Structure 1
């Protein structure tokens, strides 16, 4: 991703910080898996902190519920909730507590999730946002998303939904969670930025590249066949986001299949 994306987000952020008048500013950064959200957030934090502006990053991935909690949901609601990722598998209340503490100006622990163990890290290994943090970047694949209408849930969008959620219980639960608790979290956003992939088809390729890199670096990563199934959990909502969010995001950065910026649009 070129610096023009970072420059655009930095410009939006600095203008918003001036308007915030010293209070905490929360910027949501939404983008499909592999779109470059983490890299963009880290670059922005580095630029701001070099100017003495305390900034923190919280990924929605770090708010995942424990494996035991998701196992309980899988037994009582639907087996697909065992897999982390979709609305309903995050501890939204934890995210709200983090924002509340930062708004009070407190030094605040930032949750961190260990994907290798599929559980949150112990609090002793969480990062800490500094006292007086001015900016929180909340990044994640569904940050700022809106629920779908009931009619849109009827037809499955892929094999996972057809074969493992034929009655629509899972997708209805996910949509309901997004419509309720998650809107309370997203209401705390002052600005919303979207990294828009060209389509969902590229997301599987991007995610596969990520997993291949993990295999090289740490000997981990999912096999390709498992990736193909895994990304289907995200397909419905990712497509919905790409269709509806550009019309209301404060900044939309359109990417090509190589993650090159092909357009920047202010909302």
Structure 2
């Protein structure tokens, strides 16, 4: 398969952003956490930025957090790779996030405390040094928390038996890696999911769209940082397979679990409810 042509990536309609803002403002918590779950490349960062701007315009200071900013450091992932399974060196799947850091950050935001917001450098595949994290000095009145698998429940153990792609078949034939990730998702992630007071899900036509959309995001990331190297197309094809199992679980389960489902087509245009 050749690399797809880039497509324009417009923002989401003003009416949808205002609907999200109304949802967030109706939440009873002093500092509500409005959650947005969407697969890679679906537009969650774009939507989160639009909502943050709309909130700011309405006099509601907002902090935006991404699940991606809480990946474990490279050293921590390499330790997991040595101790458990080599595939755990790759960021993204459950078990490769710093959940205590995520929960502590959300707790501080909820308490209205000054807080440093962690950041992750995807081109370097490494957490940004803490000295470079932005500091939120004024209390936020809304937290927008977005993530590729936010709210997704674990699979039943029996569903892990058969590999679902080449990566699992060739590099995890006995299921050690996918079992570790699923166990982490079942044991450790519900506490983080439960911090969300509302959860929206952007639903694509299917997992097949993710590769092209993620490639577009990679190209945009590299264009914004000339002189730095990101993933090639073959590297990205392999990378996305790390996410496939949990992504398909999200597609199966989140439409029934989310408070609002936003359906988009293959061009990421809104579909009628």
Paired residue for 1:237?
A: 246
Counterpart among 112, 118, 133 of residue 111 in structure 1: 118
Tell me, yes or no, if structure 1 residue 74 matches structure 2 residue 66: no
Gap regions ≥5 residues in structure 2: 1-9
Tell me, yes or no, if structure 1 residue 27 matches structure 2 residue 6: no
Report the secondary structure of 1:253's partner residue.
strand
- 1:243-254 pair list within 5 angstroms: 243-254=252-263
Greater strand share, structure number: 1
Deviation of the 1:117 alpha carbon: 2.3
Q: Quote the Cα distance in structure 1 between the aligned partners of 2:74 and 2:101.
A: 16
Report the secondary structure of 1:30's partner residue.
strand
- 1:1-267 pair list within 5 angstroms: 1=10, 3-4=12-13, 7-20=15-28, 23-217=30-224, 218-219=226-227, 220-264=229-273
Report the secondary structure of 2:271's partner residue.
strand
1:82-102 CA-to-partner distances (Å, cap 9, x unmatched) read: 000001000011010011111
Give the TM-score, by structure 1 length. Answer: 0.93
> Conserved in 1, the CA contact under 8 Å of 2:17 and 2:54?
no
1:219-239 CA-to-partner distances (Å, cap 9, x unmatched) read: 433111111111000011111
RMSD of Structure 2 on Structure 1 (CA): 1.5
Q: Quote the Cα distance in structure 2 between the aligned partners of 1:148 and 1:178.
A: 9
Give the TM-score, by structure 2 length. Answer: 0.91
Quickly say closer, same or farther: Cα 1:46–1:16, change in 2 above 3 A. Answer: closer
Quickly say closer, same or farther: Cα 1:155–1:261, change in 2 above 3 A. Answer: same
Q: Quote the Cα distance in structure 2 between the aligned partners of 1:14 and 1:247.
A: 21
Deviation of the 1:213 alpha carbon: 2.9
Q: Quote the Cα distance in structure 2 between the aligned partners of 1:73 and 1:15.
A: 39
Q: Quote the Cα distance in structure 1 between the aligned partners of 2:123 and 2:20.
A: 35
1:50-82 CA-to-partner distances (Å, cap 9, x unmatched) read: 121010111111001110000000000000000
